[in-house]
Structure 1
């Protein structure tokens, strides 16, 4: 495409390379991150994901030279070599190849037979993807593993699979053959024997990824339009790749603490009496709950920003009553605005020209829940401000969060035509360019509106997303099914979402469509209890999916898992704080923490909760035990306290109410006492579980809802432990004091250790020993504690 190189010049961080048939650019973002760009669609790079590019730039010297027919750009970490035809190769500082362009053309395997006949009978015949306007082929060494690409179906390791990025509302049962779902996150991580790196193809048009499926000699990514615009992100550790990628695209802000509690949803809870019944049943059955979600039937004729006056005659009063029980309301808001003269939202948007149009400038109309509907043009800043302002209608009534759905954008008559027009912040474009970022821009508008209206950290949940949406919204995996296969599938889907920057994610616990069986719900809640977003949600017409609708054994298992979730809330909150700082999600594949162990590279039915807890759920019907692989080191059984040596697989017992959980030696786990909802009681004594070994931990405490923590309004505590010569020494220190409601004491339980004495600063401390270990309380001022066996 580009032809022979004819020259080059340097402009700041950019190296402009001139070819016979085009231009290329290499921009040094940091010693580890390089952007490769060619203006095939617009002259300058435009991005909805990298919205504050200067924030990602680091001071970085680099050397530029020409040798042996190539341009060479070298930082202290990377060497980039650029050849004719804009071939770009990446090496580490020692000259070891990391990622090389494949010099041949595409050579897919042969597909035999007349597939037209199969398609006439109704089969989805397999076809090889055609040539694309942009195609970047990378050479395959053979041992690569691929992770990321959001919540695409299939196993954790995506090698040998192909996917398309085109946000798609597909309610059919999600299986490995799905190339597209609701989100387009064109970022993946390659793990090699020597190192890990990421590739982020920042192109909002429909993009294509083949990770060695059509030919084992190469993998490729491409697009049918837009610019060539991708980032090479060097680790060499996988964690560093995620941190640097989220440094570009943004990180999930610390959510309000209540949002990490339990959410209950259904299509639909209506009228008001049904909502109140659900709330009362949760309290009656001693089940913690923080939020109930209202689906589309709370609205007046599915008109967004309205309430059905018969079903919900006084929404504000209802939410006040729920508040007394510690329960908040989250309402769904879709983008489709009912075409209805006299409906104020429609009229205002029409009068101001805020809707997408056809090629002739006429407002585009399609069919969604309200019937004939129009689509706000979220690509235009005035429209985003208008939509943001409308959030106040909901928050003033008492709504605590907004759930954005159907924002692929979806319609009942198929995808919007390619030629639907959008203003695109002054550079008019069509649906092909806006489609994949439509939900992203809607989420941004919703986030901004809630922040302006309330001053609190916004809670937004979205189905459709693009790279970078994690700055504005939590996500779920969409309309799954109440199948065991979908429970199994949810684990690699949510883990890959986390690797793709979406730290705050989850799936519909119990499954959305179909009828959930008692055993499936009991096992699913044991996975959901460790998902950052926990929501039980099911579809219209399905059986009741609230836990009391099942037998006592199911209810007991559900309650046990939820109480554990609430006990671990301060730990999860710390993990979300870490996510804001590093981009690392709370739920992590084992390969992220143990990349040197080849035994974990393909494990996708276990995961880590932070770096300290290993979760091994049962995902098969009828199983009451399962094999668990423990990586190197010592691990404690969370239930029995028994110590296990890692680097091997063990057989774990798993009765219906038990999910096998293991905690790394040296871990601290901050926990809370039982609560029915976040904020039910003031926590004056933090419960701290200690697992003997060598380790450290940082715990923070703040008001749980404002952004004051960013200006110092938090308390920080540092814990360290060292085990040697029959003694365990624990150091507690308060390292920052910026929040008034501080803990008064820590109640510490040291598991697996029955002490003969406990001392704080040389003074004896009263303690008790039992099957759980040694328990004692100390003031929150800190100090040094010594336990002697």
Structure 2
């Protein structure tokens, strides 16, 4: 459609390029991020993901010239060349090709035979994807690997797969052939031998991604509506890509500390006596727990923002009693509002015109849990404000967080028609445009309401999402199954979510549907212990999935994994602080830290917890050992203390209660003492596990619940270690002192794998305990230097 170039204009950060068939635009977001835009639907960006003001937009110098039949735009880091037909190529500053438009036409691999015969028997026959109104083809060099796209099924590397971005409530067992699930995150990272880059197709309509499945000569993305609007995000390493993408779409704010504890859920815990029984059983069995989730059966006839008076006669008294046990409550809220005269929420929304409508302006009705229901129009600011204000109803009852579900939006009497109308903040839109951002806007409204009502960091969990939802909500991977295959799938799904900006994510530990076996639960909790969001959740009609419902071996393995998670909470909290600052997720594929090691590019059954811990869970039934790949460097077996050299595969023993874990030499791991819930103990002494080598670590402390840390109300401690002449020197300093709450009085350091004849603090000998596995001693918090002398 574009035809030949006819001219160009430079204005500010934009270069508008005229073609025979229309106008395209190149915008320099910063030296390493370029936007390619054409106004096919609206004249300007109307992004729900890229909000303004935006820290990614940085004024930088660039030049524009016309040469050899192209427009050339040059920044400090990139060269962008634009040709006839709006072909756009990207090079690094040295002129090395990074990402080039494919010059040929789509040419799918041939498919043979009469597929209708197979479909007649019930087979899902493969068909070639249709051509799309918007379609960008990129040339494949051959060695590309692709990551991201949210929590799509399949392996970590998405090469050879195709996906669709259309938020879909699909409870059938998730397998690799699923093209769509609950979230639409149209962003992926390409890793090549020379560099890494990201492509973010910011189009809320249904979008399509083919990563070399149709033809190995190219990959493509496209849509049938909206604008041509994509961002090229340069690395040159994957870490920089993630950091730049999250600067653009937003980063996960530091959550309240209790949200990183254990969550327990079921469809459903009701009545309130059952909720109290669950809480008491956790305490009785010495199992840490911070949160119980209430599913839809707490409501009065599934009416949102209500309580069933018989099952839950006094919600405030219940949450108070649970609070005395150190347990908070999170309640589910769906978007479907019951169509019911006399129901206040419905009546108010109807009176104010707050619901999505049909073409005639009549509120659209479909069925969800309450039966006939209407759908709040979250695309309109007054509706978001109204919904935000309603969060106070739940918070006044003592609820600590909100779980948004069924917000794809889901429906029982067939999907919402394409022509359902939304106000879209003044520019009307239909369901095709709003569908993928519906859950995103609901999460934003919920976040804003909790923040205003409580003043604390909001805890919101959502099933449906779009790019940028990480600013408002944590996510989980939806309705999985209690299958070993789903345990295996959960690792690349959550890793790719992390690469897609969602640092705070998890899955239903133990599986939602089907019955979880004892061994599967024991192995799943060992993965869940390192997931930023830990929630054990199961469906109505399944067997009990609480750990005491199984045998003693399972209960012991579960307890061991949970106590390890709670021990590492300060480390996870530091990682979440890092996520807010850099966008890097706590749960990471190895390629994020070791992109030049080709052995880790396809590795999706082990992962890193931050940059310092390697976790290699068992994900096969009956296995009591597994192969583990250790990257280059020295690694310490977390269980045995043995130091191992990397760059090789080892065979690790893994009894039922053991998940193989390895720590990089030179690491510090902050830890808490054993506690049943966050806040049970006043932590006056921070525990610090030290793994000898050379390294640094920054630990922060704040009130764990407010945003005061953003204005300086936090303490920061910097630790470093180095070895000289066989002696280990450890130094620390209080690099920032802005928090005057419960602060540390001392540190207890355990130096693993190192025996000492003496320990000197600032040149003076201090007491220490020497054991087979290491040396332990106590030092005052603040600043100091210790030498371990052999």
Deviation string, structure 1 residues 700-753 (Cα, Å, up to 9, x no partner): 000000000000100000000001211000011000111112100000000010
Structure 2 residue 194 is the aligned partner of structure 1 residue 194: yes
Aligned counterpart, 1:786: 787
Distance 2:594 2:51 in 1: 32
Distance 1:68 1:26 in 2: 19
Residue 63 of structure 1 deviates from its aligned partner by: 0.7
Native 8 Å contact 2:28 2:35 kept in 1:
yes
Distance 1:432 1:53 in 2: 27
Residue 53 of structure 1 deviates from its aligned partner by: 4.9
Distance 2:241 2:596 in 1: 16
Native 8 Å contact 2:497 2:505 kept in 1:
yes
Residue 671 of structure 1 deviates from its aligned partner by: 0.1
Structure 2 residue 678 is the aligned partner of structure 1 residue 678: yes
Distance 2:511 2:397 in 1: 30
Distance 1:341 1:677 in 2: 43
Aligned counterpart, 2:748: 747
Aligned counterpart, 2:539: 539
Native 8 Å contact 1:590 1:607 kept in 2:
yes
For 1:227-242, list aligned pairs within 5 A: 227-242=227-242
For the residue of structure 1 that corresponds to 2:541, the secondary structure is coil
Aligned counterpart, 2:255: 255
Distance 1:285 1:144 in 2: 50
Residue 59 of structure 1 deviates from its aligned partner by: 2.4
Residue 106 of structure 1 deviates from its aligned partner by: 0.3
For the residue of structure 2 that corresponds to 1:541, the secondary structure is coil
Distance 1:735 1:428 in 2: 52
Structure 2 residue 453 is the aligned partner of structure 1 residue 449: no
For 1:307-706, list aligned pairs within 5 A: 307-706=307-706
Deviation string, structure 1 residues 353-404 (Cα, Å, up to 9, x no partner): 0000001111000000000000000000000000000000000110000000
Residue 782 of structure 1 deviates from its aligned partner by: 2.0
Aligned counterpart, 2:91: 91
Deviation string, structure 1 residues 682-717 (Cα, Å, up to 9, x no partner): 000000000000000000000000000000100000
Structure 2 residue 3 is the aligned partner of structure 1 residue 3: yes
Distance 2:585 2:54 in 1: 24
Distance 2:623 2:116 in 1: 43
Native 8 Å contact 1:162 1:211 kept in 2:
yes
For the residue of structure 1 that corresponds to 2:160, the secondary structure is coil
Native 8 Å contact 1:262 1:288 kept in 2:
yes
For 1:152-301, list aligned pairs within 5 A: 152-301=152-301
For the residue of structure 2 that corresponds to 1:266, the secondary structure is coil
Aligned counterpart, 2:765: 764
For the residue of structure 2 that corresponds to 1:297, the secondary structure is helix
Native 8 Å contact 1:41 1:226 kept in 2:
yes
Distance 1:59 1:432 in 2: 35
Residue 297 of structure 1 deviates from its aligned partner by: 0.1
Distance 1:114 1:441 in 2: 44
Native 8 Å contact 1:335 1:375 kept in 2:
yes
TM-score, scaled to structure 1: 1.00
For the residue of structure 2 that corresponds to 1:348, the secondary structure is helix
TM-score, scaled to structure 2: 1.00
Distance 1:165 1:610 in 2: 29
Deviation string, structure 1 residues 608-637 (Cα, Å, up to 9, x no partner): 000000000000000000000000000000
Native 8 Å contact 1:53 1:248 kept in 2:
no
Distance 1:777 1:415 in 2: 62
Deviation string, structure 1 residues 529-579 (Cα, Å, up to 9, x no partner): 000000000000000000000000000000000000000000000000000
Native 8 Å contact 1:300 1:308 kept in 2:
yes
For the residue of structure 2 that corresponds to 1:286, the secondary structure is coil
For the residue of structure 1 that corresponds to 2:265, the secondary structure is strand
Distance 1:542 1:354 in 2: 38
Residue 438 of structure 1 deviates from its aligned partner by: 0.1
Residue 602 of structure 1 deviates from its aligned partner by: 0.3
* Length, aligned pairs only: 789
Residue 56 of structure 1 deviates from its aligned partner by: 1.6
Deviation string, structure 1 residues 417-458 (Cα, Å, up to 9, x no partner): 000000000000100000000000000000000000000000
Aligned counterpart, 1:25: 25
Native 8 Å contact 2:13 2:59 kept in 1:
no
Distance 1:666 1:496 in 2: 28
Distance 1:436 1:128 in 2: 24
For the residue of structure 2 that corresponds to 1:45, the secondary structure is coil
List runs of 5+ in structure 1 lacking aligned partners: none
Say which is worse superposed, 718-727 or 512-521, in terms of deviation. 718-727
Distance 2:329 2:123 in 1: 44
Aligned counterpart, 1:306: 306
Native 8 Å contact 2:717 2:732 kept in 1:
yes
Structure 2 residue 774 is the aligned partner of structure 1 residue 776: no
For the residue of structure 1 that corresponds to 2:55, the secondary structure is helix
Distance 2:322 2:309 in 1: 18
For the residue of structure 2 that corresponds to 1:617, the secondary structure is coil
For the residue of structure 2 that corresponds to 1:176, the secondary structure is coil
Native 8 Å contact 1:407 1:463 kept in 2:
yes
Deviation string, structure 1 residues 247-283 (Cα, Å, up to 9, x no partner): 0000000000000000000000000000000000000
Distance 2:782 2:170 in 1: 55
Distance 2:569 2:435 in 1: 37
Residue 327 of structure 1 deviates from its aligned partner by: 0.2
Say which is worse superposed, 512-521 or 407-416, in terms of deviation. 407-416
Residue 51 of structure 1 deviates from its aligned partner by: 1.1
Aligned counterpart, 2:138: 138
List runs of 5+ in structure 2 lacking aligned partners: none
Aligned counterpart, 1:129: 129
Native 8 Å contact 1:152 1:180 kept in 2:
yes
Native 8 Å contact 2:54 2:248 kept in 1:
no
CA RMSD of aligned residues (A): 0.5
For the residue of structure 2 that corresponds to 1:425, the secondary structure is helix
Residue 34 of structure 1 deviates from its aligned partner by: 0.3
Native 8 Å contact 1:484 1:619 kept in 2:
yes
For the residue of structure 2 that corresponds to 1:29, the secondary structure is strand
Residue 501 of structure 1 deviates from its aligned partner by: 0.1
Native 8 Å contact 1:146 1:190 kept in 2:
yes
Residue 174 of structure 1 deviates from its aligned partner by: 0.2
Residue 489 of structure 1 deviates from its aligned partner by: 0.2
Native 8 Å contact 2:463 2:476 kept in 1:
yes
Residue 756 of structure 1 deviates from its aligned partner by: 1.1
For the residue of structure 2 that corresponds to 1:56, the secondary structure is coil
Native 8 Å contact 2:384 2:442 kept in 1:
yes
For the residue of structure 1 that corresponds to 2:241, the secondary structure is helix
Distance 1:210 1:663 in 2: 37
